[in-house]
Amino acid sequence: MTDRRDSPIIQGPEPSGWAIWWKRLREALAALRRPKADAGPRPAHAKAGAVPRAAERKTDKAALKAWREVHGRPAIWMAPFFLVFAMLFALPHLAQVIQPQAPRSLITALVAALPDPAQPLSPMIAGWLWAPWWLGLIALLLRLRAAWTAGRAILDAVGWAMAALVVEGAAWLYFGRKALETGFSPAERSGAWQLLVAEFVFLFLTAVLFAPTKRQRIRFEQ
């Protein structure tokens, strides 16, 4: 029988499963930190760094230009105009909450504080007393989103405000006109759709003025 003390192989307990797992994890992390051998030499312009940065800037400018051709330029100074229409359409619901017994008198008092050219707004705003609160809430959220988006892309802001206009315009077209037949004056019935038209004109002119323009050369073939 061979003596174990003379054996050149030292036998011992095999490493546990956690030890093997930890060893493989360290080897994998070391392999990730190790540079790739087949990466090849870096080009001369990569060492300098000037040319790649210039190319990246040129690519970023092209991407930004393409993005703005679809979404429009930022125009944070246009946000108050979107907020004005949000306030005009939300005022009837606010008057019903503050003074439910006489919302028209509250609207008239608020408009009276404005300059004389703004006095026709009183029947326009009162003409939207027929609208339910949930309709006004949906339109208000859309118009607030439009005002917020104007600081990033003006055409996107026009899209959000147009969504609010479509929601309220469809509601007025389908059941608003019938609701206006009882309890509303002729000036209020006309003012309801006139306020919609005023917002539509504002959005249309904004989209036209801020739309991207391209100069294209026309070549005549001979």
**pLDDT computed for residue 27 by the predictor:** 74
| Arithmetic mean of pLDDT over the chain | 81
Contacts of 126 (CB under 8 A, 6+ apart): 92, 103, 104, 107, 108, 184, 188, 191
pLDDT of 188 > 80? The answer is yes
Which DSSP symbol is given to 36?
A: P
Beta-carbon contacts of 121 under 8 Å, excluding residues fewer than 6 positions away, are 88, 111, 114
- 19 pLDDT band, cuts 50/70/90, is low
Please give the C-alpha separations between residue 15 and each of 19, 26, 29, in angstroms, as whole numbers: 6, 16, 20
CA distances from 155 to 31, 69, 82, 200, 203 (A): 49, 9, 12, 14, 9
118 has a pLDDT exceeding 60: yes
pLDDT at 56: 58
pLDDT in tens, 151-172: 889 998 999 999 999 999 999 9
